[in-house]
Amino acid sequence: MKMDERYSSASYGSAGLTAFFASLSLQDWGFIIGVAFSIILGVLTYRLNKREQMKRTKILQDILDKTDANNISATAMVIGELGKRAPKEI
């Protein structure tokens, strides 16, 4: 008897879920799909911006690591060298 109750609750639950989704109109489906795409694009944009910011931060860290505050001409040469290389990396 218990096995029949478990199967009947599963069948009623799946029937209720099917009825819920079947009751949605075309406008409701369009809204749900639009929200899903917006969330996906938001996450992808966040990840792309984070990756680009990491590249910029690495370039600035390279400048700081290779420069010397006492030798300004060497600092200018390092910045020039990194400036030539940066457009290829970004």
Owner of token pair 């200018």: 76
Instruction: Specify the amino acid at residue 4.
Output: D
For the segment 35-85, what is each residue's pLDDT rounded down to a tens digit? 999 999 999 999 999 999 998 888 788 777 777 767 777 777 777 777 777
The pTM (predicted TM-score) of the whole model is 0.57
| Range list of H helices, 1-90 | 2-22, 26-66, 72-89
The domain locations on the chain are 25-89
1-5, 11-15, 77-81: lowest mean pLDDT where?
Answer: 1-5
Distance of CA 14 to the CA centre of its chain: 33
